[in-house]
């Protein structure tokens, strides 16, 4: 991945543009952590607190769209922006991080909000299918919570929360390599272009979790290309759905409602790891599963609880 840093620019937005009678200056800095994911942060520099405009401003600069909330807390006039003044940032999920054809992978999206929460274990909940290639506002709320918004629509939220699952003994990498041959997605795949589990993606993570022996555990080997925590959230997602399917071979589509992740240690790029998942419980259309990431020595690097909802109208999903 190529890291690049753009120079900061100052954007002068007029009263007309923000629906208020005053002008304000918003300092925008952005960085591209990788070519596909653009992140920018907005720091308020000078805005009368009594006349905070409530509309959002869409600014485009150097091909990067930024949705900036204008109802941001006041900073002392003339003070330089500090880390504590960063109230929000803007993320755009690149098309290649899709799950279903036209929305983002759920685990990846949960990671976008989950990794922004400062806690050892975080629950991210999806409220709507996360859109691709659309500027989204990642907003830090009170009490350490983070929301991901598209306009007024909440796409995802994240809060500190403990993982309940306990990881079973780690499958070995060799066992995972045998299990992956049993991946049901080879025979039939609902979302073959999924970034995480799709069989039609040469550039995907290729997490093909198949049944390990006769038990409920499914497993896949994984050699990460980077230690990015977002990828850890992503790989803990899809196997959880296959773990549910392995119980009753259901044909209904389940979608991720929430993913709670405890990341104990980042994976090591280039080394072999194992991702495993197992079913936990079902109640009506709600299904619980759990997943874990192990290193080759069998240490648990991350563990997750996931909640899945069976769709009433699966046909409408993914269009
Ligand atoms: Zn997938």
pLDDT digit string, tens, across residues 37-50: 233 333 333 333 43
- 105 pLDDT above the threshold of 90: yes
Q: Which segment of 34-38, 75-79, 86-90, 162-166 scores lowest on mean pLDDT?
A: 34-38
Q: How far is the CA of 146 from the centre of ligand 1 (A)?
A: 24
* Secondary structure element (H or E) that encloses residue 136, with its range: strand 135-140
**Alpha carbons 245 and 228: distance in angstroms, whole number:** 28
Beta strands, E only, 205-285? 210-211, 218-222, 254-263, 273-283
Mean pLDDT on 4-24:
31
Tokens read off for 34: 């990788």
Which pTM value belongs to this model?
A: 0.75
Q: How far is the CA of 178 from the centre of ligand 1 (A)?
A: 20
173-316 domain in CATH 3.10.129.10?
Answer: yes
Mean pLDDT on 130-155:
92
Instruction: Give me the pLDDT at residue 140, please.
Output: 86
Q: How far is the CA of 56 from the centre of ligand 1 (A)?
A: 33
Question: What 8-state DSSP symbol labels residue 255?
Answer: E
Q: How far is the CA of 230 from the centre of ligand 1 (A)?
A: 14
Instruction: Give me the pLDDT at residue 247, please.
Output: 63
Give residue for tokens 């390599």.
177
Q: How many CB atoms lie within 10 A of CB 261?
A: 29
- Polymer length of the chain: 319
| CA–CA–CA angle 203, 60, 111 (5° rounding) | 40
pLDDT: is 70 or 291 the higher one? Answer: 291
Q: How far is the CA of 31 from the centre of ligand 1 (A)?
A: 28
Range(s) within the chain of domains with CATH label 3.10.129.10: 173-316
Question: What 8-state DSSP symbol labels residue 186?
Answer: G
Q: How far is the CA of 191 from the centre of ligand 1 (A)?
A: 7
Q: How far is the CA of 232 from the centre of ligand 1 (A)?
A: 13
């Amino acid at each position: 991945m190529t890291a690049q840093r753009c120079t900061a620019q100052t954007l002068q937005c007029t009263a007309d543009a923000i629906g208020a009678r005053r002008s304000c200056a918003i300092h925008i800095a952005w960085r591209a952590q990788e070519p596909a994911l653009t992140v920018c942060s907005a720091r308020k520099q000078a805005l009368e607190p009594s006349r905070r405009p409530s509309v959002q401003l869409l600014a485009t600069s150097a091909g990067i769209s930024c949705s900036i909330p204008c109802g941001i807390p006041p900073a002392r006039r003339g003070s330089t922006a500090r880390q504590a003044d960063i109230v929000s940032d803007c993320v755009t999920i690149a098309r290649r991080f899709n799950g279903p054809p036209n929305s983002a992978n759920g685990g990846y999206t949960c990671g976008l909000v989950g990794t922004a929460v400062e806690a050892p274990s975080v629950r991210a909940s999806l409220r709507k299918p996360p859109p691709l290639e659309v500027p989204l506002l990642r907003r830090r709320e009170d009490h350490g919570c983070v929301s991901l918004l598209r306009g007024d629509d909440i796409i995802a939220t994240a809060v500190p929360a403990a993982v309940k699952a306990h990881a079973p003994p780690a499958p070995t990498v060799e066992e995972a390599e045998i299990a992956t041959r049993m991946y049901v997605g080879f025979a039939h795949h609902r979302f073959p272009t999924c970034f995480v589990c799709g069989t039609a993606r040469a550039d995907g993570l290729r997490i093909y979790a198949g049944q390990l022996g006769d038990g409920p555990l499914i497993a896949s080997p994984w050699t990460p290309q980077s230690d990015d925590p977002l990828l850890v959230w992503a790989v803990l997602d899809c196997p959880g759905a296959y773990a549910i399917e392995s119980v009753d071979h259901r044909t209904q589509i389940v979608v991720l409602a929430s993913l709670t992740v405890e990341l104990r240690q980042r994976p090591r790029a280039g080394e072999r790891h194992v991702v495993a998942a197992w079913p936990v419980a079902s109640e009506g259309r709600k299904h619980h599963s759990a997943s874990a990431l192990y290193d080759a020595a069998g240490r648990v690097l991350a563990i997750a609880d996931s909640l899945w909802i069976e769709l009433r109208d699966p046909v409408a999903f993914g269009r």
